[in-house]
């Protein structure tokens, strides 16, 4: 507790965080590993607080196509029921006596009308059935236009295509230690003017109560001109760092979170792309360092980036770093 009390006087905090300050309101973590805010909005209706366009663009691919397929099946079942209730005798060309087959014929006629294929074997007769078919054809045109727009939006939406390491590390760095995390692009895109920002949130005692404080972390390099290989983001732990004199048990016993914001310019989309992630203090590995991810090929004319090594690390002795710190203080 004394260590957390000293942090407030040593490191500069951010005031406008947007997360609040009361530590008792802390819900586990502010940002999920995939970059989405770990929050739930209440107080207004479901349809008001959800943007269906954003949801359809950001949901997993399998879920997106499942919703499209389910909508297609449900709409055609609904219209098949309408045709069946109106009377299949108003659908010319239907040659069957079985009620199940009649419903099946009505369903497939609905799919042909909905997609505007219209094979012609079955056709509506009578004003009411023709009006229903005309309405379904209009709904089909609008639905396919919407689905095409969503599919194009998912395909063309700028995305960073960045993967972060599963853990952050406390590793040796020069004569001291540093907080390190690693990221790498995994697509054949070219990112330029890449920039990273780290912010740590942790509870600190203030006026007799625990409050959340947010500290921007100084980085060795916060910008790189081009990002083609991996990038190890390094926060040197100096006297100005909120992690100064943090030991392994401090990370294990403190409820804190390190939030990462990455942005870069994608010249293919001519747009800025953003990626986010976070690490709780329990996801910080104390006394380890990353293994190299890239090397030359056999003929030394190309660099190989091994993405499967993004999370690989080996133990590292950092005891000498703390000995150096104590000697410098004395």
- Please provide the DSSP assignment of 8-41 as one string: HHHSPPBS--SS-SBGGG--S-SB-TTS-B----
pLDDT > 70? residue 119: yes
CATH superfamily label, 2-39+159-329:
G protein-activated inward rectifier potassium channel 1 (2.60.40.1400)
Q: Where are the alpha helices (DSSP H) in 33-126?
A: 46-49, 52-58, 61-86, 99-114
Strand partners, 215: 200
**pLDDT at residue 123 in the model:** 87
Rounded to an integer, what distance in angstroms lies between the CA atom of residue 292 and that of residue 310? 9
pLDDT > 90? residue 273: yes
pLDDT > 90? residue 195: yes
pLDDT > 70? residue 22: no
pLDDT > 70? residue 14: no
pLDDT > 80? residue 90: yes
The residue behind tokens 């980085």 is 219
The backbone torsions φ and ψ at residue 142, rounded to the nearest 5 degrees and listed phi first, read: -65, -40
Q: What is the mean pLDDT of residues 153-176?
A: 90
Rounded to an integer, what distance in angstroms lies between the CA atom of residue 68 and that of residue 148? 11
For residue 49, with 0-12 CB atoms within 10 Å meaning exposed, 13-18 middle and 19 or more buried, which class applies? exposed
**pLDDT at residue 10 in the model:** 52
Rounded to an integer, what distance in angstroms lies between the CA atom of residue 120 and that of residue 314? 69
> Token pair of 321, please?
């770093």
Q: Pairing mode, if any, of strands 284-286 and 168-173? A: parallel
**pLDDT at residue 25 in the model:** 56
**CA neighbor of 87 nearest in space, from 115, 116, 120, 125:** 125
Percent of residues, the chain, with pLDDT higher than 70? 88
Q: What is the mean pLDDT of residues 285-311?
A: 91
pLDDT > 80? residue 106: yes
CB 131 within 8 A of CB 102: no
Provide, for the chain, the percentages of residues in helix, strand and coil under a 3-state DSSP scheme, each rounded to the nearest 5.
Answer: 35, 30, 35
Q: How many residues does the chain have?
A: 330
Q: How many CB atoms lie within 10 A of CB 284?
A: 22
Domain spans of the chain, in order of start:
2-39+159-329, 52-156
Report the chain's mean pLDDT, rounded to a whole number.
Answer: 85
Output 94 or 280, whichever has higher pLDDT.
280
Task: Please report which helix (H) or strand (E) contains residue 156, including its range.
Answer: helix 127-156
Residues 6+ apart with CB under 8 A from 28: 38
CATH second-level architecture of 52-156?
Answer: Orthogonal Bundle (1.10)
Write b or e for each residue in 210-239: b if 16 or more Cβ atoms lie within 10 A of its Cβ, otherwise e: bebbbbebebeeeebeebeebbbbbbbbee
């Amino acid at each position: 507790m004394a260590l957390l009390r000293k942090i407030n006087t040593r490191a500069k905090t951010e005031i406008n965080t947007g997360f609040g300050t009361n530590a008792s309101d802390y819900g586990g973590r502010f940002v999920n590993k995939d970059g989405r805010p770990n929050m739930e909005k209440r107080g207004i209706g479901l349809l008001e607080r959800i943007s269906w366009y954003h949801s359809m663009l950001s949901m997993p691919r399998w879920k997106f196509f499942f919703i499209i397929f389910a909508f297609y099946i449900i709409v055609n079942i609904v219209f098949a029921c309408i045709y069946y209730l109106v009377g299949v005798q108003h659908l010319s060309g239907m040659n069957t006596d079985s009620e199940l087959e009649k419903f099946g014929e009505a369903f497939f006629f609905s799919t042909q009308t909905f997609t505007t294929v219209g094979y012609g074997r079955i056709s509506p007769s009578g004003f009411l059935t023709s009006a229903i078919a005309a309405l379904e054809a209009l709904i089909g045109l609008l639905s396919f236009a919407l689905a095409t727009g969503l599919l194009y939006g998912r395909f063309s939406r700028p995305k960073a295509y960045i993967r972060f390491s599963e853990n952050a590390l406390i590793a040796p760095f020069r004569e001291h230690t540093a907080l390190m995390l690693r990221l790498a692009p995994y697509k054949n895109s070219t990112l330029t003017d890449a920039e990273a920002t780290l912010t740590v949130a942790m509870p600190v005692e203030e006026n007799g109560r625990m409050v959340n404080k947010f500290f921007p972390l100084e980085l060795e390099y916060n910008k790189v001109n081009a990002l083609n290989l991996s990038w190890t983001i390094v926060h040197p732990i100096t006297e100005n760092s909120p992690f100064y004199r943090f030991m392994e048990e401090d990370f294990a016993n403190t409820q804190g979170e390190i939030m990462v914001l990455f942005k870069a310019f994608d010249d293919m989309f001519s747009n800025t792309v953003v990626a986010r992630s976070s690490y709780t203090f329990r996801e910080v590995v104390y006394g380890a360092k990353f293994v190299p991810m890239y090397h030359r090929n056999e003929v030394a004319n190309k660099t190989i980036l091994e993405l499967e090594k993004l999370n690989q690390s080996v133990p590292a002795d950092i005891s000498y770093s703390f000995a150096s710190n104590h000697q410098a203080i004395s």
